[in-house]
């Protein structure tokens, strides 16, 4: 396991591995998105209280879930950067940030549109803890990306961004438990462990699982792509990059 972990930290190994995985991830992303969307929009039943508006769930829930998960990936990679100084961990974190920010943006927009139909005549409530903590997560992503871009020295940028990512982790349990700790317009948590299976009927749960998979595959695919770009930028003068470009040209 540790041997594989160390091997994964090697840029040429990572690049070759991602080249093999990317086509499969692209196919898995496309299939799960197409099937999940059609299933969620056309075949899953509508909710008895919210009617067809509940179909927003198939994008809002996975986007919100992965907005938090990706931040945890960034924080974990930040810890690896600070402790073991593995360069690839920093690049994975930097590559994940724009995807996490996009997922958070989607969660905020779809949540706002869903809220407009369910809560009455408002798109946004400034005093709501769930909405505000998710908005703070979006700003944390923007801050992380800005900090990464602010330093010319890549290692200093990586360390500063890693510290911000680790400090920002405190927001993740706040987002998750905000609906229990405070009064919120947002509904209570349904996606917690075994409870999840009991609170959503299978005909709505399975398309939701599929859309979660789609968001996960999409993240993995773009994370690999963005990390490869950062690797190419930082290692463009290394021999393995030149050899790889020669092979790419020949192909």
Partner 1 sequence: MTLPEWMDFGKWTPFIWWCYVVTAVVLISIGILSYRKEHRLLRNIAQQKRREHRGAS
Residues that bind partner 1 (CB under 8 A): 37, 41-43, 52-53, 55-56, 59-60, 63, 98-99, 102, 105-106, 109-110, 113-114, 116-117, 218, 221-222, 225-226, 228-229, 232-233, 236, 241-242, 245-246, 248-249
Q: Under DSSP, is residue 234 helix (H, G, I), strand (E, B) or coil?
A: helix
Least distance in Å: CB of 8 to partner 1?
19
Least distance in Å: CB of 56 to partner 1?
5
Of 106 and 172, nearer to partner 1 (C-beta) is 106
Q: What sign does the CA torsion over 228, 230, 233, 235 have? A: negative
Of 65 and 160, nearer to partner 1 (C-beta) is 65
Burial of 135 (0-12, 13-18, 19+ CB in 10 A): middle
Least distance in Å: CB of 144 to partner 1?
16
Number of Cβ within a 10 Å radius of residue 222:
17
Of 60 and 130, nearer to partner 1 (C-beta) is 60
Of 83 and 149, nearer to partner 1 (C-beta) is 149
Of 35 and 79, nearer to partner 1 (C-beta) is 35
Of 30 and 160, nearer to partner 1 (C-beta) is 30
The radius of gyration computed from the CA coordinates of the chain, to the nearest angstrom, equals 20
Least distance in Å: CB of 5 to partner 1?
25
Least distance in Å: CB of 68 to partner 1?
17
Question: For the chain, how are helix, strand and coil distributed in percent, rounded to 5?
Answer: 80, 0, 20
- Please tell me the distance from the alpha carbon of residue 214 to that of residue 231, in angstroms, as a whole number: 26
- Please tell me the distance from the alpha carbon of residue 171 to that of residue 182, in angstroms, as a whole number: 15
The set of residues, in sequence order, having a beta carbon less than 8 Å from that of 192 and lying 6+ positions away, is none
247-248-251 Cα angle (round to 5): 85
Q: Under DSSP, is residue 51 helix (H, G, I), strand (E, B) or coil?
A: strand
Least distance in Å: CB of 48 to partner 1?
15
Of 146 and 229, nearer to partner 1 (C-beta) is 229
Residue 51 sits at φ, ψ, to 5 deg, of 55, -140
Least distance in Å: CB of 177 to partner 1?
25
- Where would I find the H helices in 54-201? 57-84, 87-119, 129-150, 154-168, 171-181, 195-199
């Amino acid at each position: 396991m540790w041997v594989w972990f160390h091997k994964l930290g090697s840029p040429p190994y990572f690049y070759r591995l991602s080249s093999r995985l990317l086509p499969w991830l692209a196919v898995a992303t496309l299939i799960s998105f197409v099937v999940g969307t059609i299933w969620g929009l056309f075949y899953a039943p509508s909710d008895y209280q919210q009617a067809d508006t509940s179909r927003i769930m198939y994008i809002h829930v996975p986007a919100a879930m992965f907005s938090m998960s990706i931040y945890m990936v960034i924080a974990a990679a930040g810890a690896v950067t600070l402790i073991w100084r593995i360069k690839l961990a920093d690049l994975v974190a930097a590559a994940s940030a724009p995807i996490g920010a996009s997922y958070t943006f989607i969660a905020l927009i779809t949540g706002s549109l869903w809220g407009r139909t369910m809560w009455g005549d408002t798109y946004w409530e400034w005093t709501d803890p769930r909405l505000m903590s998710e908005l703070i997560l979006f700003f944390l992503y923007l801050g992380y990306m800005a900090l990464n871009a602010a330093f010319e020295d890549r290692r200093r940028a990586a360390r500063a961004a890693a510290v911000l990512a680790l400090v920002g982790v405190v927001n993740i349990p706040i987002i998750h438990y905000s609906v229990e700790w405070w009064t919120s317009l947002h509904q209570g948590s349904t996606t917690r462990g075994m409870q999840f299976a009991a609170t959503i009927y299978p005909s709505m749960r399975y398309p939701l699982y599929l859309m979660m998979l789609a968001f996960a595959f999409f993240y993995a695919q773009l994370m690999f792509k963005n990390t490869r770009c950062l690797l190419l930028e930082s290692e463009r003068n290394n021999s393995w990059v030149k050899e790889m470009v020669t092979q790419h040209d020949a192909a």
